[in-house]
Amino acid sequence: MEKILEGVRVLELGQVLAGPFAGAILADLGAEVVKIERVEGGDDARHMGPAFRQGDALNFHIFNRGKKSVAIDLKSAEGLAAFDRLAAEADIFIHNARPGVTKALGIDGQTLCNRYPRLIYCEISAFGHTGPMSMLPGYEPLVQAFSGLSSINGGPEDPPMRTGASVCDQGSGMWAVIGALALLQRRHLTGKGGVVSTSLLETALVWTGQKADAYANEGRLPDRHRSGHPGFVPYESFDTADAPLLICCGNDRLFAKLARELGRSDWIDDERFASNRARLANKTSLLAELAPLLRGQSRAKWLDRFRSAGVPCAPVHTVPEAIAHPQVQALGMLQAVPGENFRLTALPLSIDGERPAHRSVAPRLGEHNVKYGVPQTVGSGHV
C-alpha cells in the first residue's frame, strides 16, 4: 500500500512496550523510525524471554518491526551531540524514559521544542506529567491496580485481577500516536510543533471511564460480571453441552428472538422478563431457567440456530481457535515479516481496503549507526 507517512522521520527513545508500540504503529504507516538504544544491551525487551530470532526475544520483534537501531551513550558528550543531530532532522520524538531522565540529559520537551520549534515531542509516563506521583516509574500491573481497573475485572467473588492484555501500555502508545498526528496537522497549518503528554494512568482511567462516571455522578459502585454486562440481560457467557457460548441480547427485540428459539415464547409476556429493566431486576430467576436449556445442545448447534434467528452470539474461543477461524484468516491480521519465516499481528486498520504491511524485521542493536552518521561505539554506558 502507499506509505501514508512516507517522508516523516520519527526518533524513538523507547523501552519495552508503550514507546516502542507507538513507534511500531508509525513505522507500519510508512514513517522512518529511528530507535535509539543503550550501547550496553539496548532495549530491555530484547531480553524479555528466551531468544527468538537474532538472539532477541519475541516481544522485541513484535514491537520493533520496521525500525532502524542506533546505539548511543546519552551520558557522554559525544552521544548527546549525536542525538542532537538526529533530533534536528526529526519530525516526531517519542520516549517513555523514566521520569526525570530526559530533564537530566537536557532533552526534555521544553528544551528540545525551544531548540527545534517544528519538533513534535511525545512523552509517555506511568502516572502523568503533573501531580505528586509524576516522578514515579510504573509498570502495567501497578497502574491497573492503582487506577481501579483491576477492581472491575472478574466476577463478584473473584479478587481484583489485571487484564490479560497490556491495555494501559499499548493504549498509551496509541494516544501518543493520535496526539502526534494531530500536531502534524497543526504544524502543517502553523509550522509549529509541540509537546504531547500521556500516561498509563490516564489511559487506565479512560478505560474505566464508564464505571468511574457512574460512581462520580450517581454514586453507583461497579458490579462485577465476568463475561456479563451491568445494563443488559442476558448478555454473558453460558455453558452448552460441550463449550461456552456468549449471548448478547442488547434489546427486547433480540430477547424475544432468543425466547422463541428456545421454545420459551412465554417469557416475552412474562412481567418478570418482558423488558430489559425487568430482566435486570429478575436476572437470577431468568438465568436459572435459561442455563439448563443451553446445556441441552452443543455449541455448534446453538450457534447455527441463534445466528439463523438473528440472535447475536459467539463462541468463547481459545487463542488457537480464534487465529485459525476463517473470519480471522480472511482479515489477514497475521502477516509475514519480510525475509523471515515468522508472522506477527498487523495493525487493526485498513486504508483504501489495504492493511499496512510489516516493512522489515526488528533491527539488531546499533545496526544502523553508520547509516545515520553515528560511530558504531559512542562512549560506553547506558541511559
Catalytically active residues are 229
Bridge partners (DSSP) listed for residue 199: 125
Bridge partners (DSSP) listed for residue 123: 95, 197
Report yes or no: 128 and 199 within 8 Å, Cβ to Cβ: yes
Angle at 372 between CA 381 and CA 32, to 5 degrees: 110
Kindly give, in sequence order, each residue whose CB lies less than 8 Å from that of residue 288, ignoring residues fewer than 6 positions away: none
Q: How does DSSP classify residue 43? A: S
Q: How does DSSP classify residue 351? A: B
Coil, helix or strand at residue 92: strand
Cell numbers 498509563 correspond to 200
Residue 42, all three cell numbers:
539496548
Report yes or no: 47 and 57 within 8 Å, Cβ to Cβ: yes
Q: How many CB atoms lie within 10 A of CB 141?
A: 15
Residue 161, all three cell numbers:
485481577
Q: How many CB atoms lie within 10 A of CB 226?
A: 12
Report yes or no: 72 and 39 within 8 Å, Cβ to Cβ: yes
Please state, in angstroms and rounded to a whole number, the distance separating the CA atoms of residues 28 and 356. Answer: 6
Residue 138, all three cell numbers:
510504573
Kindly give, in sequence order, each residue whose CB lies less than 8 Å from that of residue 40, ignoring residues fewer than 6 positions away: 380, 381, 382
